[in-house]
Structures are given as C-alpha cells and as structure tokens.
Structure 1
Amino acid sequence: MAKFGDLSNFLVLCILVGIAGSSYGQLQLNFYAKSCPQAEKIIQDYVYKQIPNAPSLAAALLRMHFHDCFVRGCDGSVLLNFTSSTKNQTEKVAVPNQTLRGFSFIDGVKKAVEAECPGVVSCADIVALVARDSVVVTGGPYWKVPTGRRDGEISNASEALANIPPPTSNFSSLQTSFASKGLDLKDLVLLSGAHTIGVSHCPSFSSRLYNFTGVWGKKSSLDSEYAANLKMKKCKSINDNTTIVEMDPESSSKFDLSYFQLVLRRKGLFQSDAALTTSATTKSFINQLVQGSVKQFYAEPGAMEKMGKIEVKTGSAGEIRKHCAAVNS
C-alpha cells in the first residue's frame, strides 16, 4: 500500500488494542440510517460507475485510507489543504503523501452526498466506504465498514512523515509501527496484501536496484533477474521520478493473492515486502495465504475493518466538513 506506494513488544500491543477498543465504541453499522438513509448507496453507486473506467484508482483510494488512518486516526485529515488552527503544512505535502491520488474523486463523492444530505456525512466515513467499495468492484473482498467517524481539524506534515511506514522499512520497524496502531502481525501481512492492485514510482525501491552493496555470501533480497529487468525496462536511472511500476505485474488490476506469491519468490518491489519473509511468523502466514482464497483470508472481522477503526473521532469530537479539503469556517 505503500509508497506506502509505497505492522515493541506484545504487552504494549495488548494495551494499545484495549485503548483503541474504547475509542471506536460509537461507530456502528448503518450509522446514517435515519439522518441520511441513501448515503451508502450514493457512495457505492458513484464508485461502481467510476472505478471500472479507471481501475488503478482503487489502489490509490485504498492507499489514501491507510495513510489517513495512520496519522491522527481515520479522521480525513489527509484530505486537508489547509486548516484554521495551525500554520504548519498539512499531511498532503509530506513525502509519503506526495504521490497520493484520488482527492478529486473524494470531492465528487462528497458533492453527491451533500446534495442529498447537507452537513451530515463525514469525509472520514466517505474515505472508508470508498476504499471498501473500490476494492469490491475490482473483485476483492468485502468487509464491514461501521460509520460515525467525524472529521479532524488538524493536519500536520511532520506527523505524516513520522507515522506512515516507508517502503524501506525492515521487519522490526514495521512491527513497531503497526503495533502502535493496535494492529498485529496478521494485520501487517493482510494489509500489505493491498499491494496486489497498487503501483509505485521508482524512488521507492531503486536503492534495491542500484545501491545494494552485497556482503560476501549474502544475496540481495530482490530476485536478481527481476531486478535486472526493472533496470533495463523500467527504472533506467536511480533518479527516475516519473516511471510507474506495477507492484503486482502478474494481475495488477485484480485484488487477489498473487502479491504474496511474488513476495515468496523475492519479487516484492519494496524492502518492506521482503521484510515479511524475514519473520518465521509472517512468512508462515503468507504460506498459508497462498493456499487459500482472497475472500477467505480477508473474512470478518479482518484487518481492513480494524484499520478503519484506528483512533476515530465520534460523538462531539471533530466536525462534519462541508468541503473535504478545508475545515469549516
């Protein structure tokens, strides 16, 4: 999911899970049943009409959801161009978010929902629902999205840089990062599986092609033939900032399990992909995954639903933005 594109210890994790559980208790399925009964259908219809014409957006919108939730929780803060409460640059300008796409898509959905129910449905809920519906329309799994999130009023680029795990992450840093959000190693693996429909720019992994300094007796974690092919046909220079590379070239438009097969064959683009095979626990789970079906392993309650509940704002916290790119005046 990274650029994401491009999951220290378990006592701390247990404490964090308990804290997270208390913070999203007010989310509920069909939260808008009375206040805006057509909201979820309007969102779904918009996605189902638009995404088949631009299937690569599905990955972008799922990545946006991930990047939103990992900074201040799932509160739509990644959508903000500016805020009234801070002079800091917003999350959008942070390095991990500079290649995010789909903001105009979210604006289109918000406009459609506002026409039906002004000032009722949060941008944070729209992001969560759009991410799920976009994956489903590409043949991926369905997961429940309880709603009732409210929009945050603070967005800080430095927090995005500090909280979003980079594609160069090793296993230890991934485990720490995901544990800090109440997510375990199974969640780490399953959420990484979103790379099956993603694309990346060369700088996210070019150091694996050009700067690897092999230690005697040690191989690069990227398959040598695959690396040579990428250098010859895709990332012809370490400074190539424009070329886009599919993270799962074997089935880039379909949400399936082939990404995990590539990871086992040392063909995951990112260092963070390769890191999943350096732990016996996560590698074992990947081996189980490739024997099953995508919908079986993203069954409820799953990693996607857990991620969507990270540090959400409910009740009287935050606001319901009129426009997703700006806080209410």
Structure 2
Amino acid sequence: MASSSKFAWIAIAMFFALFSLKHCQAYYLTPNYYDYACPQALSTIRTVIRDAIAKERRMAASLIRLHFHDCFVQGCDGSVLLKDTPWFTGEQTALPNNNSIRGMEIIDAAKRAVEAVCPGVVSCADILSLAARDSSEYVDGPTWTVKLGRRDSTTASRDLAEADLPIAFENLDVLIGKFAKKGLDAKEMVVLSGAHTIGQAQCVTFRNRIYNETNIDPGFAIHRRRGCPSDNAGNGNLAPLDPVTPN
C-alpha cells in the first residue's frame, strides 16, 4: 500500500507541474522569476503554508484542491480568489465551489507576508501554485519545480466554474468530457484524481452512493453510514476520502 501510494503521489506531482504549465502558456514562466525582484518570496510563502497545515492538517488537501479549481477555470490565474462585490460575481459561489473550497485566507496571509518584504511583486496566482507544492511537500508527498511569473486575473467566470469544474454527483462520461475540454484524456483525469488520497468529503457529496449504489463494498458503505444519515441531517459531516492516508 505504501509503495503504491508513493508512486501515485509522484505521478500526481509530475502531472500538476505539467497541468499548471499547460494552462499558463501565454506567459514566459521560470523557476527563477523572483530571484532578483523578491529573493525571500518562496521561503516566506513556505513558512505561512507550513504554519497553516501545522495548525490544521486537512489544509494541505484544501490548498491543493484550491489550486486545481483555479487552474480548471481560465487557467492558473488566481481568478478563484476574487470575491463577489455588488458589481462583480466571481467563482466562489459556483456549485462546485460554494461552501466547499477552502484556504483562501491562507493565500491572503501568504500575500500579506510577501507584501511586507517586497510590495507589489509576487502574484496571488504564483502564491497559490507554490502553496499546492508546499502543501504536498509538508505532508510527505512529492515535490516539484514550480515555474513562476503568472499574472493575476482581473476577471472571473461563475458560468465557466459551473460548466467546467467536475462535480461529485456526475457520472464517468460527463467527467471524461469535462477533462477532454481542457485537453486532458481519461488517464490524465485518473492521475489528477489520485490527489484525493488526502482530504475529506462532506456527507452530502457521497450519501447517494453509500445508500443506493450496489457497486460498493458493503462493509465500507455501512461504516460510512454511521457518520452520514440517510436524511438531510449531517450534510456537512466529514469523512476521509481515503481512510488509509487521510492526512
């Protein structure tokens, strides 16, 4: 199990690096982008991310997921971080994100820390990309080289987030279609899904499977029902996505 998990993490790491680049081709990215303009940037961000995960282990999975939800809509541009205003609707209230994505306050904290040492230099999009890598690294997952130099988006699209982001209730054909729209095949979809070896899910996202599906291990279904009632009570109750390596 440990060996298989290790290889899965390595595949995910390689793919996150390639996935991020595939959706940021408009810019020239380099690992050394901040070496002269803000040499303290990477260490400053890493400290904030590590402190946040030390306080709440689940945050590692949340930050990796936040990065994915950013990249899948308009590319890795930080658009998921833009909050709604009276004149602007962002992506945070889209169905796959609403009351689900977490960790924006950690990215805000990292941004404040970086601004204190080199104001107006480091983008939130780069911070989010680094946060995903640093999160994986901190929980003994793989590491990878993050190429930097992304610009922060001034736009966001709730409609694209609704249409493009994968949703827990969708069937396999729909999911394959959504990844295909991003130039990703079924194998690549499975590799990215392997990031779910850490993290937790809300009861509402898996209730139908543990009560109504027959293609599931009966013992596992019974175990999950204990924390997820068949009625609408306990919608927000959490369960580890993988009971072997939840953190």
Normalising by the smaller structure, the TM-score range is: 0.7 to 0.9
Name the SS for the 1:95 alignment partner. coil
Q: Which structure is richer in relative contact order (CA contacts within 8 A, separation 6 or more)?
A: 1
Residue 41 of structure 2 corresponds to residue 39 of structure 1 = yes
| Residue of structure 1 equivalent to 2:140 | 139
| Residue of structure 2 equivalent to 1:251 | 245
Residue 70 of structure 2 corresponds to residue 54 of structure 1 = no
Question: How far off is 1:151 after superposition?
Answer: 0.8
- How far apart, CA to CA, are the structure 2 residues paired with 1:83 and 1:144? 35
| Residue of structure 2 equivalent to 1:91 | 91
- How far apart, CA to CA, are the structure 1 residues paired with 2:123 and 2:218? 47
- How far apart, CA to CA, are the structure 2 residues paired with 1:106 and 1:127? 6
| Residue of structure 2 equivalent to 1:204 | 205
1:168-215 residue CA offsets vs partner (Å, 9 max, x unmatched): 233322222222223233321221111111111011111112344xxx
Question: How far off is 1:24 after superposition?
Answer: 4.5
- How far apart, CA to CA, are the structure 1 residues paired with 2:164 and 2:195? 19
Structure 2 counterpart of 1:30, one-letter code:
N
Question: How far off is 1:144 after superposition?
Answer: 1.4
Residue 230 of structure 2 corresponds to residue 237 of structure 1 = yes
CA contact (8 A) 1:122 1:150 kept: yes
Q: TM-score, normalization: structure 2?
A: 0.84
Question: How far off is 1:21 after superposition?
Answer: 7.7
- How far apart, CA to CA, are the structure 2 residues paired with 1:21 and 1:203? 31
Structure 2 counterpart of 1:193, one-letter code:
G
| Residue of structure 2 equivalent to 1:192 | 193
Name the SS for the 1:91 alignment partner. coil
Go from structure 1 to structure 2 and tell me whether the alpha carbon gap of 1:141 and 1:171 turns closer, same or farther (over 3 Å shift): same
| Residue of structure 2 equivalent to 1:104 | 105
- How far apart, CA to CA, are the structure 2 residues paired with 1:206 and 1:129? 34
Unaligned runs of 5+ in 2: 1-18
CA contact (8 A) 1:165 1:174 kept: yes
- How far apart, CA to CA, are the structure 2 residues paired with 1:54 and 1:104? 13
Name the SS for the 2:92 alignment partner. helix
| Residue of structure 1 equivalent to 2:79 | 77
Question: How far off is 1:102 after superposition?
Answer: 0.8
- How far apart, CA to CA, are the structure 1 residues paired with 2:24 and 2:106? 32
- How far apart, CA to CA, are the structure 2 residues paired with 1:109 and 1:119? 13
- How far apart, CA to CA, are the structure 1 residues paired with 2:85 and 2:77? 14
Measured on the aligned residues, the alpha-carbon RMSD in Å equals 2.1
- How far apart, CA to CA, are the structure 1 residues paired with 2:244 and 2:169? 23
CA contact (8 A) 1:167 1:204 kept: yes
The aligned length equals: 226
Go from structure 1 to structure 2 and tell me whether the alpha carbon gap of 1:135 and 1:89 turns closer, same or farther (over 3 Å shift): same
Question: How far off is 1:82 after superposition?
Answer: 3.0
- How far apart, CA to CA, are the structure 1 residues paired with 2:158 and 2:215? 31
Question: How far off is 1:88 after superposition?
Answer: 5.0
- How far apart, CA to CA, are the structure 2 residues paired with 1:88 and 1:126? 23
Question: How far off is 1:143 after superposition?
Answer: 1.2
CA contact (8 A) 1:77 1:153 kept: yes
Alignment of 1:96-175 (within 5 A): 96-98=96-98, 99-175=100-176
- How far apart, CA to CA, are the structure 1 residues paired with 2:23 and 2:171? 28
Q: TM-score, normalization: structure 1?
A: 0.64
Go from structure 1 to structure 2 and tell me whether the alpha carbon gap of 1:120 and 1:83 turns closer, same or farther (over 3 Å shift): farther
- How far apart, CA to CA, are the structure 1 residues paired with 2:28 and 2:110? 24
Name the SS for the 1:245 alignment partner. strand
Question: How far off is 1:152 after superposition?
Answer: 0.8
CA contact (8 A) 1:83 1:155 kept: no
- How far apart, CA to CA, are the structure 2 residues paired with 1:236 and 1:95? 22
Go from structure 1 to structure 2 and tell me whether the alpha carbon gap of 1:139 and 1:252 turns closer, same or farther (over 3 Å shift): same
Name the SS for the 1:205 alignment partner. helix
